[in-house]
Amino acid sequence: MKLNKKYKLVKVIILSIILLFTSTAKLNASEVETPDELKNLYAAAVCLMDAESGRVLFEKGGEKQLPMASTTKIMTCIVTLENADVTKLVTISKKAARQPDVQLNVNTGEQYVLKDLLYSLMLESHNDAAVAIAEHVGGSVEGFADLMNQKAKALGCKNTYFITPNGLDAQNAGGTHSTTAVDLAKIMSYCIGKSPKTSEFLEITRSANYNFTNKVTKEDGTVSNGSRSFSCRNHNAFLSMMEGALSGKTGFTGNAGYCYVGALQRDGKTFVVSLLACGWPNNKTYKWADTKKLMNYGIKNYEYMPFDRIPINESKLIPIEVLNGQTEEIGAKSMATLAVIYDKKNKEDGILIKKDEKIQVKYDVKESLDAPVEIGEKVGSIQYILNDKILKENSIIVTNSIRKIDLLWCIEKIWGLYCI
């Protein structure tokens, strides 16, 4: 009986120690991951990203898949810019004309310039414009959704699924129209800096106002302005909230709540913030509070570090022997000199890091080479590692050419020794 009591007591003590250790470990992890200034964010899912490198600087529920409402339209816009001639005319279908609010209020059979509809899409978030665009570019809404999903996959978005071009709540056999905060930040980072149509995207999304008319095609094929005039106003209030605000898109549906994705560029640093489920009606300003907190945190705590400024261990880059390589003298060793290649013209050849973060450098270089060796031949690499994640890999190359020993070289060297 006494043994049973002792056993139970020991068991309780061990369990208590385990629980204490677990809770302490969780607390410490939470404290490390969530700075004080970011502990009271409203959004259910958040991501702060270095737009140039794609590094996630902070996230909360960043991989949780949620509906994203009209933030969808940044993908609609970039896919259209990359796949269509924006000077072409779009004829409005019955399906497009019947879309719910918010609407441009187009009519079936009317014609509009595709570029004008993109301004309607991005400044006023018109749902009918989105469907008209999708049908024109993709042949159908479903065809356009395929283009959106292909682009998302190409950008590395692993938990994103598009059904509609306007972001209205939807489900089909493939899943729910949704994304994650991290994926949405990836898409915006691409739109503002990596797409071949970045300048066009920014021109549209940064415009304060835009005016246009419908078009009429006459019997002789000429096109003139129609009788309907439209004026669009940009509803991205963040553009005037912070210095360096670059672009953004708001969104709201009953399932998604208020959503936002925006970008800011200041002092050579570019940040993207994405927010999903950031309050519901009566909480309309929550997204602006969260966005400013995250942007200010990024500006204050992160600095741009080019990889070519990170100190290199020169002993790892000493010349390496080239076996059977020609030399000036018989018996000498043939050596290849090395250098690291940096793409200084590429803004991605650097990363935003905190002042107290230290990037580790890992070297992988061949011990020897076989002749012949050509200038520029890759013989190894340097990896830059932070928190066990490889940030970047640069090539180590040979900077001198070395020919292989052949009969002619042997004759020349022997002649030099005995005949001169």
pLDDT of residue 265: 97
The strand pair at 111-113 and 175-176 is best described as: unpaired
Model pTM score: 0.83
pLDDT of residue 379: 95
CATH fold group of domain 45-301: Beta-lactamase (3.40.710)
pLDDT of residue 1: 44
Q: How far is 355 from 304, CA to CA, in rounded Å? A: 10
Question: So where are the chain's domains?
Answer: 45-301, 310-418
Please give the distance of CA 349 from its chain centroid, rounded to a whole number.
15
Domain 310-418, CATH = 2.60.410.10
pLDDT of residue 371: 94
Q: Kindly provide the residue ranges of all beta strands, DSSP E only, lying in 358-404, ordered along the sequence.
A: 360-365, 368-370, 378-386, 389-398
Check if the beta carbon of residue 213 is closer than 8 Å to that of residue 225: yes
The strand pair at 389-398 and 378-386 is best described as: antiparallel
Give 59's strand partners. Answer: 47
Please give the distance of CA 111 from its chain centroid, rounded to a whole number.
35
For the beta carbon of residue 94, count every other beta carbon within 10 angstroms.
9
Domains 45-301 and 310-418 belong to one CATH topology: no
User: At which residue do the structure tokens 């030099």 appear?
Assistant: 416
pLDDT of residue 420: 57
What residue ranges of the chain have pLDDT lower than 70? 1-33, 343-348, 420
Q: Report helix, strand or coil for 23.
A: helix
Q: At 173, list the tokens.
A: 């056999």
